[in-house]
Structure 1
Amino acid sequence: MPCALCGDIIPAEVARCPACGAWARRRDFRAVGVAVFMLLGFNAFVALGSGISLLRLAHPLRGETHDGYSATVTGDALSPYADVFTISAIMAVVTGALYLTWLWRAYRQSPGPHRHRRAWVLLGWFCPVVNLWLPPRMVYEVWVNSGRYRTAERQAAGLVVAAWWACSLLGLVLGRAFTHGSVETLADARFDVHVGVAAAAFQALAATLCMATVFQITRLQCLPVSSSAQTPGNA
Structure 2
Amino acid sequence: MRFIPSLQKKAISAVYLALTVQVVATAALMVFEQVRGRRLAQEISTLGGDPHAPGAQALVGAVTVFAILIMLVTVTTVAAVAAYLTWLIRARRSAVPRASAAPVLAAWLVPGVNLIAPPLLVYRLWWASRPPADRHGRWVALLAAWWVSWLAALVLVPLRLPLRGVPGNTGLTGLGPVELTTVVISALLCAATVRQITRIQTTGARYRRRAQEDPLPPRADPVTPQAVPPILTRQIPTQQAHHTRR
TM-score, normalised relative to structure 2: 0.62
Paired residues of 1:144 and 1:154 also in contact (CA < 8 A) = no
Of residues 78, 92, 116, the one that matches 1:93 is: 78
Q: Secondary structure at the match of 2:132?
A: coil
1:186 pairs with 2:168: yes
1:134 pairs with 2:117: yes
- State the AA in 2 paired with 1:27: S
Q: Secondary structure at the match of 1:99?
A: helix
Q: Secondary structure at the match of 2:170?
A: helix
2:131 alignment counterpart: 148
Paired residues of 2:131 and 2:200 also in contact (CA < 8 A) = no
1:209 pairs with 2:189: yes
Q: Secondary structure at the match of 1:148?
A: coil
Cα deviation for residue 157 of structure 1 reads 1.8
Q: Which moved more, 1:213-222 or 1:78-87?
A: 78-87
Aligned partners of 1:42, 1:228: CA distance in 2, in Å? Answer: 36
Q: Secondary structure at the match of 2:131?
A: coil
Instruction: Percent identity, please.
Output: 26
Cα deviation for residue 144 of structure 1 reads 4.0
Tell me the alpha carbon deviations over residues 68-101 of structure 1, each in whole angstroms, 9 at most, x when there is no partner: x655489966774464233222222223223212
CA distance 1:85–1:219, change in 2 (3 Å): farther
Cα deviation for residue 164 of structure 1 reads 2.1
Q: Secondary structure at the match of 1:95?
A: helix
- Report which of the two has the higher share of helix: 2
Aligned partners of 1:217, 1:120: CA distance in 2, in Å? Answer: 18
2:9 alignment counterpart: 30
CA distance 1:49–1:125, change in 2 (3 Å): same
Aligned partners of 1:135, 1:228: CA distance in 2, in Å? Answer: 31
- State the AA in 1 paired with 2:201: Q
Paired residues of 1:48 and 1:204 also in contact (CA < 8 A) = no
CA distance 1:107–1:173, change in 2 (3 Å): same
- State the AA in 2 paired with 1:226: Y
- State the AA in 1 paired with 2:157: G
1:104 pairs with 2:89: yes
Tell me the alpha carbon deviations over residues 123-169 of structure 1, each in whole angstroms, 9 at most, x when there is no partner: 11111211111012111221343242335x32322222222222223
CA distance 1:206–1:36, change in 2 (3 Å): same
Aligned partners of 1:228, 1:123: CA distance in 2, in Å? Answer: 34
1:174 pairs with 2:153: no
Aligned partners of 2:209, 2:24: CA distance in 1, in Å? Answer: 33
Cα deviation for residue 104 of structure 1 reads 0.9
CA distance 1:43–1:179, change in 2 (3 Å): closer
Q: What is the 5 A alignment of 1:55-70?
A: 55-56=34-35, 70=43
CA distance 1:211–1:81, change in 2 (3 Å): farther
1:163 alignment counterpart: 145
Give the RMSD, CA atoms, in angstroms.
3.6
CA distance 1:34–1:209, change in 2 (3 Å): same
Aligned partners of 1:208, 1:25: CA distance in 2, in Å? Answer: 22
Aligned partners of 1:159, 1:93: CA distance in 2, in Å? Answer: 26
CA distance 1:47–1:180, change in 2 (3 Å): closer
Q: How many residues align?
A: 194
Paired residues of 1:51 and 1:198 also in contact (CA < 8 A) = no
